[in-house]
Amino acid sequence: MNQRTARVFLAVVLLIALGIVVLWWSQRDKAATPGPIAVPEAPELEADEVLADFFFPGNGGQLVVEQRALPATETLEDRLSNLIEAFLLGPEAEDLYAAFPPEVRLGAAMVTDEGVAYIDLAITGQNANLPWGSRQEMLAVYGLVDTVLFNLPEIQGVILLRNGQQRSTFAGHLDTTRLLLANKDLVAERTP
Amino acid sequence: MRDLRYIAGLLCLGLLGALLPGLARAAEVPQPVTLYESGLATLDMGRRQVPVGYSVSAFGPVFTLHSVVVQLGGELKLGPLYQAHELIVGETKYVFGPGSAAVTVGSEIYPLTQAPVPAEDGLKVPLDLFETIYGEKMGYDFQWDAPARTLKVRRQPQRQVPVTVDIVHLQGVTTVVLQFPFEPRYRIHRAANIVEVELIGDRVSPEMVKSLPTDPMVRDVKLGQQEIRLVLAQDAEAEDYVLQDPFRLVFDVYRTTPTATAPTVDPTPPTRSSGVRTIVIDPGHGGSDTGAIGPSGTQEKDLTLTLARALRARLVERMPVRVILTRNEDAELPLETRTALANQQKADLFISLHLNSVQSPSANGAETYFSSLEATDEYAAQAAETENLVAAAGDDGDALYDLQLILWDLAQSQFLAQSQQLAKLVQNELNDALGLHNRGVKQAPFRVLIGASMPAVLVECGFVSNPSEEKALLDPAYRSQLIDALVRAVIRYRAAVMGSEAIVDEALP
C-alpha cells in the first residue's frame, strides 16, 4: 500500500467514523419528519381506507399538500405501490397540478430491509424527453419523494430509477445518483 | 453524557478539518491504471530511430510523452503530479492530465481512448493524443506496430493549398481574411510588424487576392511557397481568429496607440494578478435536449445560447477577462463535460444559464442556485444520517463514485461562500434591474454544478412557462437589461474578490 492509497484509506475510515458519530448523536431527535402542513379538510374515511398526504405542484411553483383516502393494504410494498400510482394520477383539487405527465407509469417499487425504496418510473412516448425547467423537475422528484417518506415512515430514503436505470439526472438538472431524502423547503402551506 | 458527546463530536470535526487539504488533494488523484506490459519501444521517424517508453493498458498502448515531443516539437509544461499538463505547439495550447480521457484546445474538448498515465519515466499518453496534436494539424501519421514494438511517424504527403486573400478596412480596423477550401496545417509566427502564416508540409497555391488597397494598417500581403506574410504598420497589432464553413483565418489589425478619433477601449489583457481571469459560461441544454418549452414554443436551449453569447461579449467589453462558452452552437453536451471544461480551463467562475418552467403559467421571477450535494442544511444533516443506508442495503452500486462525491463536496466547500456571494449579487441585480418577483438564492444538488472546482452558480433567468416572461425574454431590449444585470453582478463580485471598489464604478454598464 503506497502513501497515496494509505491517505485515501485513512480518509475513508475517518469519514465512516464521522458518519457513525453523527448517526449516534442524532438518534435522540429521531422524530425529524416533515413539519406541520395546513390542510383544508380531511376526507371521510371508510373502514378499509387510510388517509394519505400527497405533495403536488401548486400555482406558485411550490408543493402543496392534498389529503386523500387510499385503500388499506397489508404489506409495505403494496402501500408504496398504491401511493405512487395515486400520486402519478394527479390531484383532485383544480388549483394543483400532476407532477408527471400521463405517460409516466410505475414500473416497479421495492423496499430493502434497511428502508430504502427503489422506485422505477417507466416513461415512453412523446414526452419521454421531459422538457422541464429545473423547478418542474424538483417539484416532480421531491413531490414523489416527500409523498413516500411522509406517509411511510418505515422508508428512510428513495432511489429513483427511470426506465430501469439510475441516471445522473432525472430530467437534466437534479442529481439522482444518490439517496433522495425529504425536502421541506419546497412545501408551502395551503391557503383556504 | 451530553458533554461527552459534544467533545467526541468536536474531536471528529477537528480531525476532519485537519485532513481536509489532504482529502481535497486525494479527490484529484486518479485511480491507478493496470499496465500489462511496459518497456522500451522504437520511435521510427524514417531517417532516425530513437527509443520511447511504452506501456499497454486495457485500452491500448501509451507512450512517454516527453520522448515524442522532443522529436516533433512543442513546449511541454508539466504541472504538479495529477494536475493539468500543457503542451504548446505553435500558438496552440493543449491541456490534458491524468484521470481525464480528454484533451482541451481552447474551448474545444477532444475525447481520448484513455486517460494519460503517470509513470516513473514521465507521463504516458495514448496514440490519439499525438494524432490530435500532431496529426491533421501538423501533418504527421502515426502507426503502432505492436509485434515489432515500433511507433512509426511519417510526414503526410505535401498538398497544394489554394488561398484567397481579402482585405477590408472599416471604422479603424482592417480585417484580413485568408480563405481556404479546407483547414490547412499551419502555425503563426509574429515578429515586430510581421505576422506570418506558415503552412506545415503544404504549399501555398494563390487563388486570388481581392482588393489590396492602400491600407493604413496593412502595408503588404506577400504569398510565398509555404507562407503568407502580412506586413503591418509600425504601430499596428493583429489579433487572429478562425471562422468555419469555409475555413477562414481572419486577422483584425488595429493601432496599439489610440488616435484622437479611436474609441477608448481598455486594451489591458487578462493578468494573473486579477482574482477573476477566466469565466466559463454554460448555456443550459442543447441538441435534442431542448430544456423547457414555453407556451408559444420558445425553447430554453436557444435562449440560453443567445444569452450566453451576449453575456460573453458584454463581459469582455467591460473587464480584462477570458470568457469561454461550454457550447457555442446547438449541440448536446453532457453535464459532466461542462464542468470538466471549466476545471481544465482553470476557470475562476462557472455560470450556468437556464430558464425555468413549472406546470402553472403564473409562476414567475428569477432564482439563483449555488451548489450543494444536499438541498438545505437540514437536508444535509438527514443525508449524513442515512448516508450508509444504500450500502447497508447490499447495493454495491458505485461506491467509488459516492466517495468521489463526498470528497468533491469537501473540496468544494471552500468555494461555497464565494458561490453564495456571487449568487446573492446575481439575484439582487436581476431583481433590481428587471423588477422580478424575488424567488431568492437557493441551494440544490444540480448535477451541472457538481464537480466544479471553482465558485459556481446556476441562474434561472425567468419562467419561460409564464406567457408574459416568455414574451419579455424574446425581447432584445429586455435581454439586454438582463445581461447588464448579470455583468454588474460579476463586476461587483470581481471587485469584492480583488478587494477594490474602484473598478466597479469604472466598469459598470
Task: Say yes or no for a CB contact (<8 Å) between A134 and B444.
Answer: yes
Task: Copy the grid coordinates of residue A185.
Answer: 423547503
Instruction: Kindly state the average pLDDT of the residues B430-437.
Output: 88
pLDDT computed for residue B400 by the predictor: 46
CATH of B35-155, one of 3.40.50.1980, 3.30.457.10, 3.30.70.270, 3.50.50.60: 3.30.457.10
Secondary structure of B39-76 as H, E, C letters: EEEEEECCCCEEEEEEEEECCEEEEEHHHHHHHHCCEE
Q: Which CATH architecture has domain B160-255?
A: Sandwich (2.60)
DSSP states of B73-141: --EEE--STTS-EEEEETTEEEEEETTEEEEEETTEEEE-SS--B--TTS-EEEHHHHIIIIITTTTEE
Q: Which of B84-93, B398-407, B497-506 has the lowest mean pLDDT?
A: B398-407
Does residue A75 have a pLDDT over 70?
yes
pLDDT tier, B190 (very low <50, low <70, confident <90, very high otherwise): confident
Element (DSSP H or E) covering residue B20: helix B2-28
Three-state secondary structure readout of B394-437: CCCCCHHHHHHHHHHHHHHHHHHHHHHHHHHHHHHHHHHHHCCC
**Which residue of A14, A22, A136 is in closest CB contact with B359?**
A136
Cα distance between residue A88 and residue A97, in whole Å = 11
Mean pLDDT of chain B: 79
Give CA–CA dist B78/B118, Å, rounded.
Answer: 11
- pTM of the model as a whole: 0.56
| Three-state SS at B154 | strand
Q: What is the pLDDT of residues B165-186, one digit of tens each?
A: 888 766 566 778 888 888 888 8
Q: Please write the tens of the pLDDT for every residue from B241-277.
A: 777 778 888 888 877 754 333 332 333 333 333 488 8
Q: Which pLDDT score, from 0 to 100, does residue A81 have?
A: 95
**pLDDT above 70 coverage of chain A, percent:** 79
CB contact under 8 A, B292 and A23: no
How far apart CA A45 and CA B115 sit, in angstroms, is: 62
Collect all residues of chain B within an 8 Å Cβ-Cβ radius of residue A183.
Answer: 375-376, 379
Does the structure show a pLDDT above 50 at A38? no
Residue B82 has pLDDT above 80, yes or no: no
Instruction: Identify the closest residue of chain B to A61 by CA–CA distance.
Output: B363
The residue in chain A having the minimum alpha-carbon distance to the alpha carbon of residue B16 is A14
Q: Which residues contact B243 (CB under 8 A, 6 or more apart)?
A: B250
B312 C-beta neighbours (distance < 10 Å), count: 20
Q: Report d(CA B246, CA B371) in Å as an integer.
A: 41
Confidence of residue B509 (pLDDT cuts 50, 70, 90): low
Alpha helices in B319-395 (DSSP H): 335-344, 377-386, 389-392
User: Which has the minimum average pLDDT: B143-152, B405-414, B454-463, B476-485?
Assistant: B405-414
pLDDT at B396: 43
Instruction: Provide the shortest C-alpha distance from residue B216 to chain A (in Å).
Output: 52
Q: Is the pLDDT of residue B466 over 80?
A: yes
Residue B414's closest CA among B19, B18, B10, B21?
B21
Considering only CA atoms, which of B244, B323, B334, B245 is closest in space to residue B286? B334
Q: Computed over its alpha carbons, how large is the radius of gyration of chain A?
A: 19
Distance from C-alpha of B108 to C-alpha of B125, rounded to nearest angstrom: 19
Structure-model confidence comparison of residues B175 and B189, the more confident one = B189
Confidence at residue B380, expressed as pLDDT on a 0 to 100 scale: 44
Partner-chain contact B389 A19, CB within 8 Å: no
Q: What gap in Å lies between CA B96 and CA B130, rounded to an integer?
A: 12
Banded model confidence at residue A40, pLDDT cuts 50, 70, 90: low
pLDDT given at position A89: 96
B133 versus A36: which is more confidently predicted? B133
Highest mean pLDDT: which of A162-171, B10-19, B104-113?
Answer: A162-171
Query: Under an 8 A CB cutoff, do A60 and B375 touch?
Result: no
Spell out which residues of chain A touch residue B357, defining contact as CB-CB under 8 Å.
Answer: 132-133, 135-136
Would the pLDDT of B468 be above 70?
yes
Sign of CA dihedral B13, B19, B24, B29: negative
Position B155 confidence tier, pLDDT thresholds 50, 70, 90: confident
| Best CA proximity match to B57, nearest among B131, B135, B112 | B112
Cβ neighbours of residue A128 closer than 8 Å, sequence gap 6 or more:
A103
The C-alpha atoms of residue B424 and residue B438 are separated, in whole angstroms, by: 11
Q: How close A97 gets to chain B, by Cα (Å)?
A: 7
CA angle B497, B279, B307 (to 5 degrees): 120
Phi, psi of B467, rounded to the nearest 5 degrees: -55, -40
The set of residues, in sequence order, having a beta carbon less than 8 Å from that of B321 and lying 6+ positions away, is B270, B274, B276, B277, B278, B279, B315, B494
Angle at B469 between CA B463 and CA B471, to 5 degrees: 130
Identity of the residue in B354, B385, B398 whose CB atom sits nearest the CB atom of A134: B354
Strands (E), A36-185: 49-57, 63-71, 105-111, 116-122, 157-162
pLDDT of residue B31: 53
Distance (Å) from the C-alpha of residue B75 to the closest C-alpha of chain A?
30
pLDDT at B105: 80
Q: What's the Cα-to-Cα distance from A73 to each of A80, A152, B52, B196, rounded to whole Å?
A: 10, 12, 70, 81
Per-domain residue ranges of chain A: 1-32, 35-188
What lies within 8 Å, CB to CB, of B420 at 6+ separation is B370, B441
Give the pLDDT confidence score for residue B52 in this predicted structure.
92
Q: B17 pLDDT exceeds 90?
A: no
Among A7, A139, A177, beta carbon nearest to B358: A139
B360 contacts on A by Cβ (under 8 Å)? 57-61, 97
- Nearest C-alpha of chain B: how many angstroms from A43? 25
- The more confidently predicted of residues B87 and B391 is B87
Residue B276 · residue B270 · CB < 8 Å: no
SS3 A49: strand
Top CATH class, B278-507: alpha beta
Q: Which pLDDT does position B30 carry in this prediction?
A: 47
Distance, CA of B341 to CA of A170 (rounded, Å): 23
Verify whether the Cβ–Cβ distance A135 to B15 is below 8 Å.
Answer: no
CATH 3.30.457.10 domain span(s) along chain B = 35-155
**Considering only CA atoms, which of B432, B442, B418, B438 is closest in space to residue B486?**
B432
Q: How far apart (Å, rounded) are the C-alpha atoms in residues B238 and B219?
A: 13
Q: Which residues pair with A51 in a beta bridge?
A: A69
Q: What is the mean pLDDT of residues A155-182?
A: 91
| Set of cell numbers at residue B241 | 481568429
Q: Which residues of B touch A154 (CB under 8 A)?
A: none
Q: How far is A169 from chain B (nearest CA, A)?
A: 7
pLDDT at B411: 55
pLDDT at residue A118 greater than cutoff 80: yes
Picking from A120-129, B318-327, B338-347, which range would have the lowest pLDDT averaged per residue?
A: A120-129
Ranges in chain B annotated CATH 3.40.630.40: 278-507
- Per-residue pLDDT band for B473 (boundaries 50, 70, 90) equals very high
CB contact under 8 A, B382 and A182: yes
Report whether B33 contacts B82 (CB < 8 A). Answer: no
Residue B248's beta-bridge partner residues? B179, B243
Provide Rg for chain B, Cα atoms: 26
Whether residue B12 and residue A21 make contact (CB cut-off 8 A), yes or no, is yes
Model pLDDT for residues B293-341, shown as the tens digit of each residue: 999 999 999 999 999 999 999 999 888 889 999 998 888 888 988 988 8
Residue B231, beta-bridge partner list: B194, B220
Exposed / middle / buried, residue B241 (Cβ in 10 Å: 0-12, 13-18, 19+): exposed
Q: What is the pLDDT of residues B86-123, one digit of tens each?
A: 888 877 888 888 777 888 887 677 888 888 888 877 88
- Please give the pLDDT value at position A22: 57
